[in-house]
A and B are shown apart, each in its own frame.
Chain A
Amino acid sequence: MKQFRTDLHIHTVLSPCGDLEMSPSNIVSLARNRGLDIIGITDHNSTKQCELVWKLGRSSGLTVIPGCEMTSREEVHCLGLFEDFDALRMFQSFLDRHLTLIPNKPLLFGYQLVVDEDENILEEVVNYLGASLDVSIEEIEQKVHELSGIFIPAHIDRPRNSLFSQLGFFPPELKVDSLQISKNSDEVAIRKKFMISDAITLVKFSDAHFSADLGKTYSIFEMEEATFDEIRKALHGADGRKCLIPTPSSL
């Protein structure tokens, strides 16, 4: 087994709250320089910047998993990650059907830009991507799984936009591949506080919106190779694969 430093929750300039320095080229070079092996691109309610990051990653030896950070009707943030671009395109059309349409105000919420590898602006997304989808968290989870994706509720211990802040306790019908906890949280304390079963893997990712945050928070995935299937196995602790949260001293 090998160890892979993995951060599956990263925003680009496409997210309204994503810093303008978070261009695809910059993300890939910073991720490489700071020792990450696998990254996930998860902008708010859009997947439009994933393919370029994936391309740039491929030519520099960085594994990039395309994805999205969705906002459910209950305003819970959750991550969807996909194996290929067919699935991603189908998920994008699901997002297009369900996003609540509110015109973005860039000066208030931030710019939402699709850029090319030289950081030229290709598109400015007009509808606010921080709005919620008009579907429940279960419907989103079912869509992600129907497309053979990975579903991970984001920063579950945060006092806003988290599974527990919005819904009080773990919804009985929800099927998760793991749960993401915030960077400074203690895994044991979180398990106890929210009564999370040991069968569910907890992971830490950066949720980076600024370049300074890239590389500081990750989980170590112990698996055979950097592929989507291996990532899913690691999240489920299958076939000896596993995810480890680095302790502060090992970071």
Chain B
Amino acid sequence: MSQRSFIRVLVAKPGLDGHDRGAKIVARALRDAGMEVIYTGLRQTPEQIVEAALQEDVDVVALSCLSGAHNYLFPKVVELLRQQGGADILVLGGGVIPEEDIPALKQSGVKEIFTPGTTTQAIVEFIRAHAIQK
């Protein structure tokens, strides 16, 4: 398979949280930066997110959660990706996430956590530096 010329990203909202301002802004900024972006919409289970990620053959899964359920939902996505052959997909998280939760999330396999105040430029640069493009 020939290499794509662009990075493909799934922006996903796991859980029941309805705050999608950040997710949509990030999705649009990544697209403006030349990436191909798929947005899942609200209320996705980890299973649905992983299915979409594998089906769409993405390089990156960017998770957004502001409801406090990140410690449950983010590791679950990573775990399912690993089980189903998506271990090489870069997983990122964002939202209202207390700093003390970040080490455990990274330990679980989320590569980076972006908290309030992060610029979209910083996210773009991080993805360019770390995504393994298929």
Same assembly: no
